[in-house]
Amino acid sequence: MKILFRTSSMTKTFYSVISGAGHYLPDQIIKNENFLNSQFYESTGTVINQDNSEIIEKFHQITGISERRYSSDEQVTSDLGYLAAVDAINKTKINPEELDYIIVAHNFGDVKSDNRKSDMVPSLASRIKAKLEIQNPYTVAYDLPFGCPGWLQGLIQADYYIKSGDAKKIMVIGTETLSRVSDPHDRDSMIYSDGAGAVIVEAVESETPVGILSHLTRSDAVDYAYLLKMDKSYNSEYKGNEIFLKMNGRKLYEYALKTVPQVIQDALAKAKVSIENIKKVLIHQANEKMDDAMLERLFRLNHIKDIPKMIMPMTIAEFGNNSVATLPILFDFIFHGKMKDHSFNNGDHIVFASVGAGMNANAVVYRMP
């Protein structure tokens, strides 16, 4: 989206452009084999009468996940977000005191390894700003809990600030430790992982449209609010009073398939960009089979049978689903040439899209400067 700064002699056009990115992934790698000795239960509380090797193989076929990252016991969500922010700052070589906003997307706050309750006061954004030692009182820091689409919604909010003339430089962070809120007796726990990503968004003057060209968000709460929710362990004998992230996988899949392709399609129409011009589609990495189905549906909406190869880069096999962190981590890898067979070139049109708890879905159409 653009902003017009009017002067006595001319009109300047500014766009919201991602000038830099960074990420942090914990060192601890948890492979699928780590779950061979787990005891999984159905949502009814009965033990799943199936060999774990078969459960894990089916899980891999559906999700594409082979391994994921878990934080160390000493780390919490804000620590991961801070490390991603430092990486973005160092790569971009900005002065953090010049940031107008720090927007931090997450969903559970800081959850300690030995006390698995959400801690959100002060906000994670304030904690990260303090760790960065930013003295500027007008660097406004706040949190954005919006399900998995939270980071992308933060990017959208950054665009609104730049469009209004309120800001010139914003950091948007997505950070999560889903391993701390997953039920060890729920096979869905194998999906979740930890990580953080950050981008710097700046107001850039350009004669041609660049950066964020359009965006669209929807929330469908009446019928779908509780497809993702917090609840007790499936194991009725679990000793502990924690509540864990629970997912109605089948209904969520149906919602995502029906909603996300249309949101992308509408955002493309809003930007007046054809799907044939899109070089990359960056979808929230939640489930490989679901992402493939959403991409196929998107192209079917445009009456295109042959989907371009390499249009949808994936990181889920190695990093799992780390919620709000998946998109900024994916973007950072490609942006800095760290992902084999994938790159961004000047003038490329790309699409960001995400779906998650709420239920919320959003999309951004972006042109590389």
pLDDT tens-place string over residues 313-342: 999 999 999 999 999 999 999 999 999 999
| Average pLDDT of the residues in 224-244 | 93
Q: Is residue 278 part of a domain?
A: yes
Least confident of 6-10, 84-88, 220-224, 253-257: 6-10
pLDDT at 10 over 50: no
Give yes or no: residues 166 and 239 share one domain: no
Q: Is residue 42 part of a domain?
A: no
Q: What is the pLDDT of residue 173?
A: 98
Q: What is the pLDDT of residue 202?
A: 97
Give yes or no: residues 255 and 180 share one domain: no
Give yes or no: residues 75 and 199 share one domain: yes
**Non-local CB neighbours of 217 within 8 Å, separated by 6+ positions:** 149, 153, 156, 263, 360, 361, 362
Domain closes at, from 205, 234, 269: 205
Q: Is residue 83 part of a domain?
A: yes
Give yes or no: residues 138 and 27 share one domain: yes
pLDDT at 272 over 70: yes
Q: Is residue 50 part of a domain?
A: no
Give yes or no: residues 242 and 359 share one domain: yes
Domain closes at, from 147, 178, 205: 205
Mean pLDDT of the chain: 94
pLDDT at 101 over 60: yes
| Average pLDDT of the residues in 257-271 | 97
Q: What is the pLDDT of residue 327?
A: 98
Give yes or no: residues 229 and 248 share one domain: yes
pLDDT at 6 over 60: no
pLDDT at 119 over 80: yes
Q: Is residue 351 part of a domain?
A: yes
pLDDT at 8 over 60: no
pLDDT band of 130, cuts 50, 70, 90: very high
Which region holds residue 315: left if phi is over 0, alpha if psi is between -120 and 50, else beta? Answer: alpha
Give yes or no: residues 222 and 149 share one domain: no
pLDDT at 1 over 60: no
Prior bond to 308 cis, omega within 30? no
Give yes or no: residues 287 and 236 share one domain: yes
Q: What is the pLDDT of residue 7?
A: 40
Give yes or no: residues 153 and 221 share one domain: no
Domain count, the chain: 2
Give yes or no: residues 136 and 17 share one domain: yes
Domain closes at, from 205, 236, 270: 205
> What is the CATH number for 79?
3.40.47.10
Strand pairing report for 101-105 and 169-177: parallel
Give yes or no: residues 169 and 256 share one domain: no
**Non-local CB neighbours of 135 within 8 Å, separated by 6+ positions:** 97
pLDDT band of 12, cuts 50, 70, 90: low
Q: What is the pLDDT of residue 207?
A: 86
The tokens for 287 are 């489930």
pLDDT at 240 over 90: no
Q: CA 361 to CA 147: how far, in whole Å?
A: 9
Give yes or no: residues 201 and 245 share one domain: no
pLDDT in tens, 28-51: 999 999 999 999 999 999 999 999
Report the predicted TM-score, pTM, of the whole model to 2 decimal places: 0.94
pLDDT at 198 over 80: yes
| Average pLDDT of the residues in 242-248 | 94
Look up the domain containing 319 and give its range: 211-367
pLDDT in tens, 139-156: 999 999 999 999 999 999
Q: What is the pLDDT of residue 24?
A: 98
